[in-house]
Chains A and B, each alone.
Chain A
């Protein structure tokens, strides 16, 4: 598994909101079932001193990290506040921030991800389902019952597509080491390349499924440098041409981003690409 394990103490930001409170409960139910530390603190400015499902709430990430020996955070804060929370987490010395929040202005993400990088803090997301390592840790909103423990890593830009594939893998008797949703926004923290690097060094992972979609070129970039067997699926092959951002977008990417072109490039570098989700388990069995 990568990024975090049983012993990671997790802070949830936006702890007193609907989503935050609901998922603190779910993450801790999972932590209890496997004997992990789980969520040890919540943060909501102005609500310090309260409790959410038995978890103490603090006013700032720094206070929470100091009081409860936490090294990672999951963000359920509103989009307008999320860039700020990422920087706060980095400043408090956390190693990892999983940003579930969607609709964050892209300039905020760009600045916050850059700042976190300077401070040595990894950002997963935004606009992602988070991180799930069966038998180790749940940091996000992935449904635990679909997953099973095993040698396959999953990296995805989409939430429910991930669940669908994890479900297929589990039904085919193929377990997972870590499932990571890197998010669907134009700018994200951890990329396919970053996660693939970590998977390559992880003794528990023997192959990785990457689930991409149209737009950008992060899938090819990651697969090209991967030091571990990779199988891919790309969504959006029949989507209407992406609403283009004038001329500059096309020039910057050199016309990359189209889902079919992406699939050809992946095949050219020797990556098996599934036409349908249901083919993924058999493609993975071949590379294992």
Chain B
């Protein structure tokens, strides 16, 4: 789950990383900016890449802050409405650095990235001048970043950055983060500040972090999550139900390759019973654009007779095309055939029929 900038900054601040003075304001709430903040930066708290360029970050003198905030609350940044803003004191920037920690899948370890060329589009730096970015993995069971690793990362940059790396690493570890990023990390006459921050938490660790609800999910995705489905909305008209991410993804691919348009990706998970299958079919049945539903299930522990009963119980109006293989396959097929459902032997036949029915 992605945290908003002000939430991420609060966590960094609690870990001892300095953040600019400021306040977080929700739409409709009154606020007062400290009189000694002469120049402020007003930042929309939206999940939009390139927020600054899209007009989500505005500069204002103290006297103009109210007006600027109001302007931002009326705006939409790349289609996202602004519900919260962060008003901070402008920093006296001497230099900007980039610092982040994420997970390196192939090394199976946290990896720290640092460059003295911060503040700009970091992916551009990565392409044009990859040597400017230093990368170092940290052995997973270590509780601190070793000194030699920090020296390697800094490559001559000011030593004061070392403790910031150490503190960001502790946030990364203690908060089950998948990404902890400070961009830019700003050097001022008064020392280092995290001018912008990003934290992404592991959805599988939310419970132990004390977070009860994953905000990143859409309403339909939340419903699907409650049933234990893995669900992604796409834009087509063929509803897809499969079991296992790989098989479901391969079904979506095959629909696209055969010229159809999948409406979604829905993995019902292992051992789906009548009730779960009925929920899945109803969920797709409730999507207005779905005209055909393909059910492609291959079960080890999934019982085909349960699946068949679930499909019938759902009672949706759309045409359903079924491919079932696995435990109690015969019983399942008999149930569906008796009700006139279209049953096909292989995945390719079923997808072909669905694409034809939807066009």
Interfacial residues, chain A to chain B (CB-CB below 8 A) = 19, 22, 79-80, 103-107, 110-111, 113-115, 129, 141-143, 156-164, 167, 184, 186-187, 191, 211, 213-218, 221, 233, 235-240, 245-253, 275-278
On whether the beta carbons of B301 and A110 are closer than 8 Å, the reply is no
Which of A111, A157, A217, A277 has the largest count of B CB atoms less than 10 A from its CB?
Answer: A277
Residues of chain B lying within 8 A (CB to CB) of residue A233: 250
Q: Is B108 an interface residue (CB 8 A)?
A: yes
- Are A160 and B140 neighbours in the complex by a CB distance under 8 Å? no
Contact A184 B246 (CB under 8 A): yes
Measured CB to CB, the closest approach of chain B to A218, in angstroms, equals 6
Whether A238 lies near B103 (C-beta < 8 A) is no
- Does B346 make an interface contact (CB < 8 A)? yes
- Inter-chain contacts of B122 with A (CB < 8 A): 247, 251
Cross-chain contact of B204 among A103, A160, A213 (Cβ < 8 A): A103
Stretch at the interface among B75-83, B85-93, B173-181, B279-287: B173-181
Measured CA separation A115–B139 after assembly (Å): 11
Interface check B133, CB cutoff 8 A: yes
Task: Pick the residue among A110, A161, A278 that contacts B346 (CB under 8 A).
Answer: A278
Q: What 4 new A-B contacts, CB under 8 Å, besides A105-B202, A143-B327?
A: A163-B300, A213-B249, A238-B262, A246-B100
State the CA gap A99–B291 with chains docked (Å): 39
Q: Which residue of B lies closest to A115 (CB)?
A: B141
Which residue of A has the minimal Cβ distance to B244? A160
Interface SS, B side? mixed
* Known A-B contacts A22-B301, A240-B232, A245-B178; A114 and B256 likewise in contact (beta carbons under 8 Å): no
* A56–chain B nearest beta-carbon distance, Å: 24
- Residue among B106, B181, B262 with the highest chain A CB neighbour number at 10 A: B106
Q: In this assembly, does B252 line the interface, its C-beta being within 8 Å of a C-beta of chain A?
A: yes
Name the contact of B347 in the complex, choosing from A114, A164, A214, A236 (C-beta under 8 A). A164
Which residue of chain A is the closest to B111 with respect to CB atoms?
A: A252
Tell me, rounded to whole Å, the shortest Cβ–Cβ distance linking B253 to chain A: 5
Contact between chains at A246 and B200 (CB < 8 Å): yes
A sample of 7 inter-chain contacts (CB < 8 A) reads A105-B202, A111-B141, A218-B106, A235-B247, A247-B122, A250-B123, A251-B122
Q: Chain B 302-328, CB within 8 Å of chain A: the 1/0 string?
A: 000000000000000000000001110
CB proximity of B103 to chain A, nearest CB, Å: 6
Task: Tell whether B183 is near chain A: CB-to-CB under 8 Å.
Answer: yes
Q: What are the residues of chain B within 8 A of A164 when measuring CB–CB?
A: 247, 250, 298, 347
A183 to B68, CA, bound (A): 50
Query: Which of A159, A160, A187 has the most chain B CB atoms closer than 10 A to its own CB?
Result: A160
Closest Cβ of chain A: how far from B297's Cβ, in Å?
8
Question: When A156-B246, A238-B253 are in contact, do A80 and B208 touch as well, CB less than 8 Å?
Answer: yes
Q: Tell whether, in the assembled complex, residue A239 and residue B265 are in contact, meaning their CB atoms are under 8 Å apart.
A: yes
A164 to B178, CA, bound (A): 32
